[in-house]
């Protein structure tokens, strides 16, 4: 038996020990507490406890999903409805939240998994450690420990072997070696079976995943339409209040110049100078407007150089690290650029940060753009309520993008963004 197989068998036994504690300890306790909370609903106390217990149950299920994916690459799909939020707050908000959670089929799927996990899941998790430990006990008996035990109890049963002398002790030792060999070879299969069993019970059905996907697409479609309309209104407002007003003033100045050029040449020169200044300011505003729609450096040089240029304009020092082997689709680059701009602006404006770190790279395995913005500010940022990050999250949803925030009080703050996108060939990107 090779070293890798021995290491795998021992690792599976250690993994089984952890899963065993989670199954018989945590799952069983959560099941009992949830049943008690349901029984107390008529008294009103149960509804207040339900949100806390459901959060704990989901944490237990998600931890099992994480282990399944990290250890054996087994994906257990999840389809929780978004956590309900009631603006009323207080006890009324807690009751509303509990009712909505109880209406979620995923809640009951997790709850009904807890008891089987505490029984079947526990047995599948304890077997790897049991095979090795019981096999080792048989070897220890054969090594001579059987002598004082048999002297005390006459016959000692090791499994199905009645150990009463050297021959039966030797048989127990040989069977113990078999147990150890079987455990080292097949322990990982038992842990995989544990996760497959878990997947059957808490894995979201394909129909529910599809329905959730359709609902998300409808929501992001509405968000995209709203964002497009808001952007058009902003452009119209900027043109009307800025460049258009200056061009109108310039036209009026030129009209006055035409009337004064023979009567009062000095006044005409002053008006021409004012018209020239208005034209320069109008041109600057038009350039800023174009840059706000799609920055030229982004179109010409790509996201990496555009992010570096953006960092140079920040008041807070920004350290940029970019690893992009090519260009992405233009909409993806544009969405990423404006997301980076907003996150950097928030960090400089609200976080009171002294330094910001921006990391951009492309994950070929997941075929997605990964962005991380870290600052050493005061922390406390969140996606709750109507924050700017919440709005950014909704805008990224139109691209199937994901935004996550980790910002404990006192900092640091980490904002991660993931946007799916196909990487273009570098030559093709430059040609475009």
- Indicate if 280 and 306 belong to the same structural domain: no
Which of 241, 261, 293 lies at the terminal end of a domain, its last residue? Answer: 293
Alpha-carbon distance of 355 to 314, in angstroms, equals 11
Same domain, 165 and 280: no
**Same domain (yes/no): 306, 274:** no
Is 213 among the domain residues?
A: no
210 falls within a domain: no
Asked if residue 66 belongs to a domain, the reply is: yes
Tell me the per-residue pLDDT of 305-343, one tens digit each, with 9 for 90 and over. Answer: 888 888 888 888 999 998 888 888 887 888 888 888 888
| Both tokens assigned to 266 | 């000095």
Place of tokens 């992010």: 307
Residues 6+ apart with CB under 8 A from 324: 302, 303, 304, 360, 361, 362
Q: Please tell me the distance from the alpha carbon of residue 164 to that of residue 153, in angstroms, as a whole number.
A: 9
pLDDT score, position 120 = 94
The closest alpha carbon to 408, from 340, 351, 348, belongs to 351
Element housing 356 (H / E): strand 356-363
* CB neighbour class for 129 (10 Å; exposed up to 12, middle 13-18, buried from 19): buried
The answer to whether residue 212 is domain-embedded is: no
- Bigger pLDDT: 239 vs 53: 53
Domain extent for 342: 298-431
Q: Which of 237-241, 370-374, 389-393 has the highest mean pLDDT?
A: 370-374
Statement: residue 147 has pLDDT above 80: yes
pLDDT-wise least confident of 90-94, 165-169, 232-236, 373-377: 232-236
Look up the CATH number of the domain holding residue 388.
Answer: 3.30.565.10
| C-alpha–C-alpha distance, residues 155 and 141, integer Å | 13
Clarify whether residues 311 and 172 are in a common domain: no
268 and 316 inside one domain: no
Q: Is 208 a domain residue? A: no
Identify the pLDDT of residue 431: 37
Neighbours of 345 (CB within 10 A): 14
Report pLDDT digits (tens) over 108-136. 999 999 999 999 999 999 999 999 999 99
- From 249, 269, 293, the end of a domain falls on 293
Q: Please check whether residue 249 is in contact with residue 278, taking contact to mean a CB–CB distance below 8 angstroms.
A: yes
Q: Do residues 101 and 58 share a domain?
A: yes
Q: Are the CB atoms for 415 and 388 separated by under 8 Å? A: no
Burial 168-183 (b: 16+ CB within 10 A, else e): bbebbbebbeebbbeb
**Same domain, yes or no: 370 and 333:** yes
pTM value is 0.59
For the chain, the domain total comes to: 3
Q: Does one domain contain both 54 and 193?
A: yes
What is the C-alpha separation between 134 and 187, in angstroms, rounded?
A: 14
* 46 and 169, same domain (yes or no): yes
Q: Stretch 157-176: mean pLDDT, rounded?
A: 88
Does 220 reside within a domain?
no
Question: Is 403 part of a structural domain of the chain?
Answer: yes
Residue 216 pLDDT grade (very low, low, confident, very high; cuts 50, 70, 90): low
| Range with top average pLDDT, 15-29, 313-327, 331-345, 368-382 | 15-29
398 CB-near residues (< 8 Å, 6+ apart): 220, 221, 223, 224, 227, 335
Same domain for 248 and 342, yes or no, is no
pLDDT value, residue 48: 85
Strand segments, DSSP code E, in 307-351 are: 318-323
At 104, the pLDDT band (50, 70, 90 cuts) reads confident
276 in the same domain as 232? yes
Same domain, 240 and 358: no
Q: How far apart are CA 285 and CA 283, in angstroms?
A: 5
Q: Is residue 175 part of a domain?
A: yes
Name, of 267-271, 284-288, 347-351, 428-432, the range with top average pLDDT. Answer: 347-351
Of the three residues 262, 293, 324, the one that is the final residue of a domain is 293
The predicted structure's pLDDT at residue 92: 75
């Amino acid at each position: 038996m090779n070293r890798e197989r021995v290491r795998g068998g021992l690792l599976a036994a250690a993994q089984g020990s952890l899963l065993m504690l989670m199954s018989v300890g945590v799952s069983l306790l959560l099941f009992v507490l949830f049943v008690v909370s349901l029984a107390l609903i008529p008294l009103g106390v149960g509804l207040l406890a339900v949100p806390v217990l459901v959060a704990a149950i989901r944490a237990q299920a998600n931890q099992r999903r994480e282990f399944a994916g990290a250890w054996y690459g087994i994906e257990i799909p999840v389809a929780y409805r978004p956590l309900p939020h009631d603006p009323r707050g207080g006890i009324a908000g807690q009751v509303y939240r509990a009712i909505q959670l109880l209406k979620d089929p995923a809640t009951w799927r997790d709850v009904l998994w807890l008891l089987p996990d505490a029984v079947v899941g526990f047995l599948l998790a304890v077997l790897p450690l049991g095979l090795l430990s019981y096999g080792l006990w048989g070897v220890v008996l054969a090594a001579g420990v059987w002598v004082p035990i048999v002297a005390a109890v006459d016959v000692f049963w090791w499994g199905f072997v009645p150990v009463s002398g050297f021959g039966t002790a030797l048989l127990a030792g040989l069977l113990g070696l078999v147990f150890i060999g079987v455990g080292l070879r097949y322990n990982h299969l038992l842990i995989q079976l544990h996760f497959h069993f878990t997947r059957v019970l808490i894995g979201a059905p394909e129909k529910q995943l599809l329905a959730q996907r359709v609902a998300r697409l409808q929501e992001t479609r509405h968000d995209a339409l709203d964002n497009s309309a808001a952007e058009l209104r902003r452009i119209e407002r900027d043109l009307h209040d800025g460049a258009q007003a200056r061009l109108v003033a310039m036209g009026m100045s030129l009209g006055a110049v035409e009337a004064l050029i023979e009567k009062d040449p000095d006044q005409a020169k002053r008006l021409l100078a004012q018209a020239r200044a208005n034209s320069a300011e109008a041109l600057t505003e038009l350039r800023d407007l174009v840059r706000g729609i799609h920055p030229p450096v982004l179109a010409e040089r790509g996201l990496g150089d555009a992010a570096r240029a953006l960092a140079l304009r920040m008041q807070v020092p920004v350290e940029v690290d970019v690893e992009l082997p090519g260009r992405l689709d233009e909409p993806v680059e544009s969405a990423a650029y404006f997301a980076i701009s907003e996150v950097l602006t928030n960090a400089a404006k609200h976080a009171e940060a002294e330094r910001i770190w921006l990391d951009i790279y492309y994950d070929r395995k997941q075929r997605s753009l990964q962005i991380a913005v870290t600052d050493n500010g005061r922390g406390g940022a969140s996606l709750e309520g109507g924050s700017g990050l919440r709005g950014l999250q909704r805008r990224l949803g139109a691209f199937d993008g994901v935004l996550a925030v980790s910002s404990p009080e006192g900092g640091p703050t980490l904002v991660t963004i993931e946007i799916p996108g196909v990487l273009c060939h570098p030559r093709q990107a430059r040609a475009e």
